[in-house]
Amino acid sequence: MLMSVMTSASIVCTALPTVTVGDLDPFVAPPPSHRVVDAPIRCRVVLHGLVLDVRVATWVGGPVLEVTLSDGSGVMCLAFLDRRHIAGIEPGRVLTAAGTIGLRHGRRVVLNPYYWRHAPMVEVADA
């Protein structure tokens, strides 16, 4: 389980136990470590939520697939660099994502997260 501690200068992340790439099971999603609204930047987190929107954006280096994930407490952008489409990631899909949160133009973003798709899909109304 991941935890964060607030200091006067920044947020310091600690992991109990330490989660490494080798610890992640490709077939079983880990439990969420934070709600989206509480997830601190520069920390490894596991988020679970509903895909609200999928779009292709152009960043400086090329195309980026931006996926908007919501768990009801807030929204997080999952950015897949140099991707235009990922099979099975579409609005209405329930998804678990693991990665490190960073900031891009004031938005919290997880770059190239590990992800697990869940069924069933639900209908998302057009915004």
**Measuring CA to CA, which residue among 51, 114, 58 is closest to residue 77?**
51
Q: How many CA atoms lie within 13 A of 40 on its CB side?
A: 15
Among 5-9, 84-88, 101-105, the range scoring the smallest mean pLDDT is 5-9
Residues in the chain: 127
Q: Are 113 and 99 in contact (CB under 8 A)?
A: yes
- Please report, for the domain that includes residue 74, its CATH number: 2.40.50.140
Task: Name residue 116's beta-bridge partners.
Answer: 96
Domain count, the chain: 1
In the predicted model, what is the mean pLDDT of residues 36-45?
A: 90
pLDDT at 6 over 70: no
* Residue 79: burial class (beta carbons within 10 Å; 0-12, 13-18, 19+): buried
Residue that is written with structure tokens 């934070």 in the block: 34
Q: Is residue 18 part of a domain?
A: no
Q: Is residue 20 part of a domain?
A: no
Q: Is residue 90 part of a domain?
A: yes
What is the percent of the chain where pLDDT is above 70? Answer: 75
pLDDT classification of 2: cutoffs 50, 70, 90? very low
pTM of the model: 0.77
Expressed as residue numbers, the domain containing 95 is 29-118
pLDDT classification of 127: cutoffs 50, 70, 90? low
